[in-house]
């Protein structure tokens, strides 16, 4: 029995933990099994152990890839409507288990319950529904070619068809585990691919419950396989496996480079959703009642552990102090605590290792001469809570301005005119997202076109939906999750040219 000192935990969640959080977390060819080695998984709010996850070996990974290869013809032979039916059923079953999924996500990742329950898990469910529809809309073209060396009395007919790329290695991070997993699984399955999923070692549990749900929804054995465990071993073995046709990766830019190396021998297809340092820009004509909580939430939501977090705040000098004071006040008003406590608005960072990393960035900023207006210290017995932190008096070349912190730390800088702020926003190795806060339609258009980013939000930040492609330019990665563009990335084109 897993021992967790939370009397408020639902009996369904406890039953799941007893079933799966004792090392039995490998799903291979429709069967759950154990690995020879295990890793502890921890509640980041207390540092208490929740249970054990399987630490898959290279041989476990090989078994999973072989199972996925065997399942490819089975999944492809099903009609698009049959596949869509299963995707839709997965969404229905997730909805029925939404409270269990949200509790697991909070326990394992630390996020406040409402974040999973009302934002991220509905987002994950939306992925399965959107791609259920998309799976029935895959089409090729007839092409009227100009080939003129055709045999007498014959005609050339040419067409293209779309085919699944093959086995997909889905490798995901720990910050928003379930929705990021769904962003890969749903389009891959819609395209007819089979999958080996490697969740992040810090946040594996919700993926295992999703695995149970997907099997219950009628997914044939081997179509989804799950190998849990360490990135350096299980992840690396999966990324370099010759049986994998595509790697769908979300994580850090550094690991993205390791994935590119692993992919190059076999020319594996890749989508890489990587890091960010996204600007939030408040223009002098912005509606500040909307903008102040908007830019504060852009960085403090999920304790800043969001790839698209608005971690660089640029405010027009005429309103700079007012906006920055508002963001400080907003942060100071957030109730911090265990994510399962209903009053909690901000939880811990995902692990003490990550909390130390975030604290090192703030210390570095102090040493570089920046001012820390609020926060900046680790709190709580577990040492994993970081108070909402606002940093000012920085230079553009400072580490705190250039590097992704991945915590509740925002760097505020004033600007004087629109050209300056566009140049400052683009002075980054990253290009994932940005937000612009303005009441002027022409400023909104001009800036959304000038900013180098995969997504630009106007008067909002981090609005996403299964229908909207998301991904980055520059070192924020390659390709897009969500939207039709995601489906496309799991499909190959085949050209057929026939003399008839």
Beta strands in 264-343 (DSSP E): 269-273, 279-282, 312-316
CB of 312 to ligand NAD, least distance (A): 14
- Cβ count near 428 (within 10 Å): 24
252 near ligand NAD, rule: CB under 6 A: yes
- Verify whether residue 273 is a known catalytic residue: yes
Binding region for ligand NAD (CB under 6 A) out of 146-154, 195-203, 332-340, 492-500: 195-203
The active-site residue out of 105, 201, 307, 404 is: 307
451 near ligand NAD, rule: CB under 6 A: no
Binding region for ligand NAD (CB under 6 A) out of 112-120, 197-205, 386-394, 413-421: 197-205
Pick the binder of ligand NAD from 348, 477, 479, 483 (CB under 6 A).
Answer: 477
Pick the binder of ligand NAD from 46, 57, 127, 250 (CB under 6 A).
Answer: 250
> What residues are paired with 160 via a beta bridge?
495
Beta strands in 236-333 (DSSP E): 246-250, 269-273, 279-282, 312-316
| Helix H or strand E encompassing 28 | strand 26-28
**Which residues between 284 and 323 bind ligand NAD (CB under 6 A)?**
307
86 CB-contact burial (10 Å; exposed 0-12 / middle 13-18 / buried 19+): buried
Rounded Cα distance, 482 and 433, in Å: 15
235 near ligand NAD, rule: CB under 6 A: yes
Rounded Cα distance, 228 and 211, in Å: 12
How many residues of this chain interact with ligand NAD, rule: CB under 6 A? Answer: 31
Pick the binder of ligand NAD from 251, 279, 294, 408 (CB under 6 A).
Answer: 251
Rounded Cα distance, 242 and 265, in Å: 8
Half-sphere exposure of residue 30: CA atoms within 13 angstroms, side-chain side: 11
The active-site residue out of 105, 201, 273, 404 is: 273
**Which residues between 332 and 391 bind ligand NAD (CB under 6 A)?**
none
25 near ligand NAD, rule: CB under 6 A: no
Q: Are 210 and 132 in contact (CB under 8 A)?
A: no
Q: Are 341 and 8 in contact (CB under 8 A)?
A: no
Binding region for ligand NAD (CB under 6 A) out of 120-128, 274-282, 330-338, 389-397: 274-282
Pick the binder of ligand NAD from 23, 166, 173, 337 (CB under 6 A).
Answer: 173
200 near ligand NAD, rule: CB under 6 A: yes
490 near ligand NAD, rule: CB under 6 A: no
- Verify whether residue 460 is a known catalytic residue: no
432 near ligand NAD, rule: CB under 6 A: yes
Pick the binder of ligand NAD from 17, 170, 239, 447 (CB under 6 A).
Answer: 239
60 near ligand NAD, rule: CB under 6 A: no
Pick the binder of ligand NAD from 191, 274, 295, 340 (CB under 6 A).
Answer: 274
Q: Show the binding pattern over residues 380-419: x = contacts ligand NAD (CB under 6 A), - = does not.
A: ------------------------x-x-------------
DSSP codes joined into one string, 370-381: -EEEE--SEEST
Nearest by Cα to 258 from 235, 279, 292: 235
42 near ligand NAD, rule: CB under 6 A: no
Beta strands in 213-348 (DSSP E): 224-226, 246-250, 269-273, 279-282, 312-316
CB of 359 to ligand NAD, least distance (A): 16
Toward ligand NAD, which CB reaches closer, 192 or 275?
A: 275
Toward ligand NAD, which CB reaches closer, 276 or 337?
A: 276
174 near ligand NAD, rule: CB under 6 A: yes
Please tell me the chain's helix, strand, coil percentages from 3-state DSSP, rounded to the nearest 5. Answer: 40, 20, 35
Rounded Cα distance, 319 and 332, in Å: 20
CA 60 to each of CA 10, 29, 325, 439, 462: distance values in angstroms, whole numbers, following the listed order: 32, 11, 53, 55, 37
433 CB-contact burial (10 Å; exposed 0-12 / middle 13-18 / buried 19+): buried
Burial 371-387 (b: 16+ CB within 10 A, else e): ebbbbbebebebebbbb
Toward ligand NAD, which CB reaches closer, 61 or 328?
A: 61
Binding region for ligand NAD (CB under 6 A) out of 53-61, 112-120, 231-239, 288-296: 231-239
| Helix H or strand E encompassing 474 | strand 473-474
Pick the binder of ligand NAD from 110, 116, 211, 276 (CB under 6 A).
Answer: 276
Binding site for ligand NAD (CB under 6 A): 171-175, 180, 198, 200-201, 231-232, 235-236, 239, 250-252, 255, 258-259, 273-276, 307, 404, 406, 432, 472, 476-477
Q: Which residues are catalytic?
A: 273, 307
């Amino acid at each position: 029995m897993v021992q967790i000192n939370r009397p408020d935990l639902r009996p369904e969640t406890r039953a799941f933990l007893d079933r799966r959080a004792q090392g039995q977390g490998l799903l291979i060819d429709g069967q759950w099994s154990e690995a020879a080695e295990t890793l502890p998984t921890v509640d980041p709010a207390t540092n208490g152990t929740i249970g054990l996850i399987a630490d898959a070996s290279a041989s476990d990974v090989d078994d999973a890839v072989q199972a996925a290869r065997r399942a490819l013809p089975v999944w492809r032979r099903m009609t698009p409507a049959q596949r869509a039916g299963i995707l839709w059923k997965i969404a229905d079953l997730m909805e029925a288990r939404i409270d269990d999924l949200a509790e697991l996500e909070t326990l394992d990742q630390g996020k406040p319950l409402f974040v999973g329950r009302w934002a991220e898990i509905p987002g994950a469910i939306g992925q399965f529904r959107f791609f259920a529809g998309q799976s029935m809309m895959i089409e090729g073209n007839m092409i009227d070619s100009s080939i003129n060396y055709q045999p007498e009395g014959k005609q050339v007919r040419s067409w293209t068809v779309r085919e699944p790329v093959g086995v997909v290695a889905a490798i995901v991070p720990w910050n928003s585990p379930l929705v990021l997993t769904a962003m890969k699984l749903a389009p891959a399955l819609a395209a007819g691919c089979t999958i080996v999923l490697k969740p992040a070692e810090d946040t594996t549990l919700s993926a295992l419950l999703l695995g149970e749900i997907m099997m219950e929804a009628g997914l044939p054995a081997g179509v989804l396989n799950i190998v849990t465990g360490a990135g350096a071993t299980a992840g690396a073995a999966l990324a370099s496996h010759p049986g994998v046709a595509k790697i769908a990766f979300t994580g850090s830019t550094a690991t993205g480079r390791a994935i590119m190396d692993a992919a190059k021998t076999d020319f594996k297809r890749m989508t890489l959703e990587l890091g960010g340092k996204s600007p939030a820009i408040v223009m002098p004509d912005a509606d500040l009642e909307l903008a102040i909580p908007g830019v504060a939430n852009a960085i403090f939501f999920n304790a800043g552990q969001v790839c698209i977090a608005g971690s660089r705040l640029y405010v027009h000098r005429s309103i700079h102090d007012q906006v920055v004071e508002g963001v400080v006040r907003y942060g100071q008003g957030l109730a911090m605590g265990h994510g399962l406590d209903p009053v909690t608005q901000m939880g811990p960072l995902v692990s003490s290792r990550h909390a130390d990393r975030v604290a090192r960035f703030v210390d570095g900023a102090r040493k570089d001469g920046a001012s820390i207006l609020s926060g900046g210290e680790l709190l709580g017995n577990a040492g994993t809570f970081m108070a909402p932190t606002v940093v000012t008096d920085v230079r553009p070349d400072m580490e705190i301005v250039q590097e992704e912190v991945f915590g509740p730390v925002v760097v505020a800088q004033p600007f004087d005119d629109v050209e300056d702020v566009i140049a400052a926003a683009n002075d980054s190795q990253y290009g994932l997202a940005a937000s612009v806060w303005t009441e002027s339609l022409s400023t909104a258009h001009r800036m959304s076109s000038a900013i180098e980013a995969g997504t630009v939000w106007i008067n909002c930040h981090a609005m996403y939906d299964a229908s909207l492609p998301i991904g980055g330019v520059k070192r924020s990665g390659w390709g897009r999750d969500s939207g039709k563009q995601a489906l496309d990335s799991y499909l190959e084109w085949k050209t057929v040219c026939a003399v008839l």
